[in-house]
Amino acid sequence: MAAPRNRIRIGDMLVQHNLISEEQLKEALEQQKKTRQKLGKTLLTMGFVDEKEFLSLLAQQLNIPLVDLSRYTFNKQDVAQLSETHARRFRAIVLKENTDRFTVGMADPMDIFAYDELQRLLPKPIDLAVVSENQLLESMDLLYRRTSDIESLADQLSEEISDGGFDLAELNATDEVDVPVVKLLKSLFEDAVQVGASDIHIEPDEHVLRIRQRIDGVLHEHVMKEKRIAPALVLRLKLMSKLNISEKRLPQDGRFNMMVKGQSVDVRISTLPIQYGESVVMRLLNQSAGVIGLDNAGLPDDMKARLRRLIREPHGIVLVTGPTGSGKTTTLYGALNELNTQERKIITVEDPVEYRLPRINQVQINSDIGLTFASVLRACLRQDPDVLLLGEIRDRETAEISLRAAMTGHFVLSTLHTNDAVSSAMRLVDIGVEGYLAASALRGVLAQRLIRKTCVHCKQPYQPSAQEAQWLKHRTEQLGIEMPVWQKGQGCTYCNNTGYKGRVGVFELLELNDEMADALRKDDSVGFTAAAKNDPNYKPLVYGALELAAQGVTTLDEVFRVTEQMDEAVLEEIATTSSEVKADVTEEAPKVVPDSGFSFELE
Ligand SMILES: [Zn+2]
């Protein structure tokens, strides 16, 4: 088929094939008059028709293939035949370049105007395929990276610098958007926002400039040969964040806000003098994305209900723990967001203030002028708060003030830098707080980690190694399940060849009961641990991770990674048990468990 000239009336077609009723069509046509969207889209948004059914019917009627982009392997060179601007404007993507034709995927293959434009832009005749709009947009974000823009701008900037054309006045002009250094930074930020990077690292090395982006917790490197552009980038970034541009020997930190692709992004920047210049690390906080509520944090329903009950207590303290980058801030903001009503006064003491929330009084620590956690906390208590959030309990002083506040009619949320919920309670005593104080104020501890999700586009069954199988045998027996089929991503365009895409939280929630409070009062850590293990509601985080792996959401590697952080002894257990059992693990073939009814039981 060459062109979709034979017009089809979508509405009639859908009614004819019983995908929608006459009434639904009428309703959708009414709606369409208001939104001015296409009928197909209107029907999809209104939920009258299933996208897959709709697309396959459309493909059938137009006699063109329906391509599932989630399983499609793109060739980047072919894709690049159509510029990003055109691809986005016409909702189209080049699927394949053949000797005499192109195959082009379109979200709306009946858009004749777009088809004509595409035919004009591409040097060979085109064959159409229909694709899902959401999949198309997702693919475009991944395929149209800023890599080549960044490279050519870096090259341009490098040339200017060698010509001596690089001057400070140019860098100073804040609204001058045409200079290469500004364009280069803009492309860098756009690329980072598009792929959802949390951090950008700019690191001058001896002969190259390394730009690394942290995506889903893992760094991805881009090496540039134009090493000499580094000082220009650093200088510009320092100006944007109002740092001292002449100071290159001392570390500095600051922040700035900017608009990237229509989104407001807060950038926290820090510099560090290293052997070949200054290293700059930027943390990107997308303010437009807003705060993720507790509903979307990944908490299992029962745990979410328990946490909600805990944070609605009129007084007491709830701690969220985990290492850096475990998603503690997200959970805390999610909790605050739920508590943020007219009736509650909420004050936060943070370093740094990560997200700005309406109605909440957020205080930024500044120890240079004596604005410390302890001094701000004391001042906050005179401000008649209902809820206090303390960024981190880091010493006895801040611990004591928070616990006392929690005992005198305030509800306090804070974090501790500990690995698990059980050790957190004892940690309070370790830093010098009286046991009775901790026992009376502490309501609960939520420990968490972020684990990477297996890429759904390239996941394949995974056969555990001998050691893994042995370790799993113990665990799955404890959980009372048969071995499921484990999954692992093989790497594809969608996941940047990592096999992982996105992250999900895993949690454990410990609620203090009388038995635990007694042990805490007596500074009895053995008794406390025993009491925690006796609590039927307390399930260690590792089991949550294992459950996700059994469902194919994550890999065993990720479970082991979390386990290692939680308890190094467990990995030793794998190493020691493996030698004894090598003989019988060969018959340990994983079996399919369609729906593993998990029950958690502790040893
Ligand atoms: Zn993949």
- Expressed in angstroms, the distance from the first to the final Cα of the chain is 65
Q: What's the pLDDT score for residue 589?
A: 34
Residues with CB under 5 A from ligand 1 (ion): 455, 457-458, 489, 492, 494-495
Q: Contacts for 151-154 with beta carbons within 8 Å, 24 or more apart?
A: 151/224, 153/180, 153/183, 153/184, 153/187, 154/184, 154/209, 154/224, 154/226, 154/229
pLDDT tops 70 at residue 25:
yes
310-319, 359-368, 573-582: range with highest mean pLDDT: 310-319
Task: Determine the distance separating the centroid of ligand 1 and the alpha carbon of 501, expressed in angstroms.
Answer: 7
pLDDT tops 60 at residue 5:
no
The structure tokens 């200017």 sit at 160
Give mean pLDDT, residues 471-496: 82
The pLDDT tens digits for 530-581 are 999 999 999 889 888 998 999 999 999 999 888 776 654 444 444 444 443 3
Question: pLDDT band for position 472 (50/70/90)?
Answer: confident
One-letter amino acid at 58 equals: L
Q: What's the pLDDT score for residue 340?
A: 94
Question: pLDDT band for position 584 (50/70/90)?
Answer: very low
Q: What's the pLDDT score for residue 375?
A: 93
Q: What's the pLDDT score for residue 178?
A: 65
Task: Determine the distance separating the centroid of ligand 1 and the alpha carbon of 499, expressed in angstroms.
Answer: 5
Could you count the other beta carbons within 10 Å of the beta carbon of residue 42? 23
Segment among 6-15, 108-117, 442-451, 495-504 with least mean pLDDT: 6-15
Task: Determine the distance separating the centroid of ligand 1 and the alpha carbon of 220, expressed in angstroms.
Answer: 15
Task: Determine the distance separating the centroid of ligand 1 and the alpha carbon of 461, expressed in angstroms.
Answer: 14
The pLDDT tens digits for 101-137 are 999 999 999 888 999 999 999 999 999 999 999 899 8
Could you count the other beta carbons within 10 Å of the beta carbon of residue 280? 22
Task: Determine the distance separating the centroid of ligand 1 and the alpha carbon of 555, expressed in angstroms.
Answer: 13
Task: Determine the distance separating the centroid of ligand 1 and the alpha carbon of 285, expressed in angstroms.
Answer: 26
Task: Determine the distance separating the centroid of ligand 1 and the alpha carbon of 276, expressed in angstroms.
Answer: 36
Task: Determine the distance separating the centroid of ligand 1 and the alpha carbon of 494, expressed in angstroms.
Answer: 5
pLDDT tops 50 at residue 350:
yes
CB contact at 8 A, 545 and 581: no
Task: Determine the distance separating the centroid of ligand 1 and the alpha carbon of 70, expressed in angstroms.
Answer: 9
Task: Determine the distance separating the centroid of ligand 1 and the alpha carbon of 144, expressed in angstroms.
Answer: 17
264, two tokens: 């407001």
Give mean pLDDT, residues 394-421: 93
Task: Determine the distance separating the centroid of ligand 1 and the alpha carbon of 453, expressed in angstroms.
Answer: 10
Q: How far is CA 363 from the centre of its chain?
A: 26
Q: What's the pLDDT score for residue 493?
A: 78
Task: Determine the distance separating the centroid of ligand 1 and the alpha carbon of 552, expressed in angstroms.
Answer: 14
Task: Determine the distance separating the centroid of ligand 1 and the alpha carbon of 457, expressed in angstroms.
Answer: 5
Report the candidate in 545, 310, 327 with the shortest Cα–Cα distance to residue 415. Answer: 327
More confident residue, 171 or 582: 171
H and E: helices and strands count for the chain? 24, 18
Task: Determine the distance separating the centroid of ligand 1 and the alpha carbon of 291, expressed in angstroms.
Answer: 27
Q: What's the pLDDT score for residue 586?
A: 34
Task: Determine the distance separating the centroid of ligand 1 and the alpha carbon of 274, expressed in angstroms.
Answer: 36
Q: What's the pLDDT score for residue 79?
A: 92
Task: Determine the distance separating the centroid of ligand 1 and the alpha carbon of 491, expressed in angstroms.
Answer: 4
Question: pLDDT band for position 354 (50/70/90)?
Answer: confident
**DSSP for 292-342, written as a single string:** PPGGGTT--HHHHHHHHHHHTSSSEEEEEE-STTSSHHHHHHHHHHHH-ST
Task: Determine the distance separating the centroid of ligand 1 and the alpha carbon of 323, expressed in angstroms.
Answer: 27
More confident residue, 18 or 339: 339
| Interacting residues of 478 by C-beta distance below 8 A, sequence separation 6+ | 601, 602, 603
Q: What's the pLDDT score for residue 6?
A: 53
CB contact at 8 A, 575 and 454: no
Q: What's the pLDDT score for residue 555?
A: 95
127-131, 370-374, 454-458: range with highest mean pLDDT: 127-131
| Interacting residues of 59 by C-beta distance below 8 A, sequence separation 6+ | 65, 66, 129, 130
The pLDDT tens digits for 189-228 are 999 988 889 899 999 999 999 999 998 888 888 898 888 8
More confident residue, 597 or 338: 338
DSSP character at residue 229: G
Helix (H) or strand (E) holding 374: helix 373-381
Task: Determine the distance separating the centroid of ligand 1 and the alpha carbon of 558, expressed in angstroms.
Answer: 16
pLDDT tops 80 at residue 292:
no
Task: Determine the distance separating the centroid of ligand 1 and the alpha carbon of 460, expressed in angstroms.
Answer: 10
30-34, 265-269, 472-476, 494-498: range with highest mean pLDDT: 265-269
pLDDT tops 90 at residue 347:
yes
Question: pLDDT band for position 177 (50/70/90)?
Answer: low
Task: Determine the distance separating the centroid of ligand 1 and the alpha carbon of 490, expressed in angstroms.
Answer: 6
C-alpha 238/C-alpha 245 separation (Å) is 6
Task: Determine the distance separating the centroid of ligand 1 and the alpha carbon of 195, expressed in angstroms.
Answer: 14
| Interacting residues of 143 by C-beta distance below 8 A, sequence separation 6+ | 74, 76, 79, 93, 493
